[in-house]
Amino acid sequence: MTATTLKHNYFTRMAKENLELEKTLKKPCHDCAITTGFYMPIADDLLLESDEIQAAVINNWYCHNHTNECCKGAINYIKSMKKQEEDTNE
């Protein structure tokens, strides 16, 4: 099994989990694992998945400080990278 297949299987499984997080944070934490770069490679791999998988995973991506809330840093990062890609393709 290739690394790409393993990553796809991970995101597919995560998309199906439906963690039912209470809410989304209003802004990223001061030490957000995405904005500090710690989880950025994982977010970059998520960008290779379909829009449906991305949306489902991002809704289950919990904050490392507030585990009952969605990570605003991950949401912002995915949105900004998709916007950059759209702007590049225009």
pLDDT tens-place string over residues 43-89? 999 999 999 999 989 988 989 998 889 999 999 999 999 999 888 88
Residue 67 lies in a domain: yes
pLDDT band per the 50, 70, 90 thresholds, residue 14:
confident
Work out the mean pLDDT of the chain and round it to a whole number: 87
Q: Is the pLDDT of residue 29 over 80?
A: yes
Residue 73 lies in a domain: yes
CA distances from 73 to 3, 5, 9, 89, 90 (A): 25, 26, 23, 24, 26
Residue 52 lies in a domain: yes
Span 8-19, mean pLDDT? Answer: 79
pLDDT for residue 88: 87
| Domain, as residue range, for 29 | 24-89
Number of structural domains in the chain: 1
pLDDT for residue 6: 60
Residue 4 lies in a domain: no
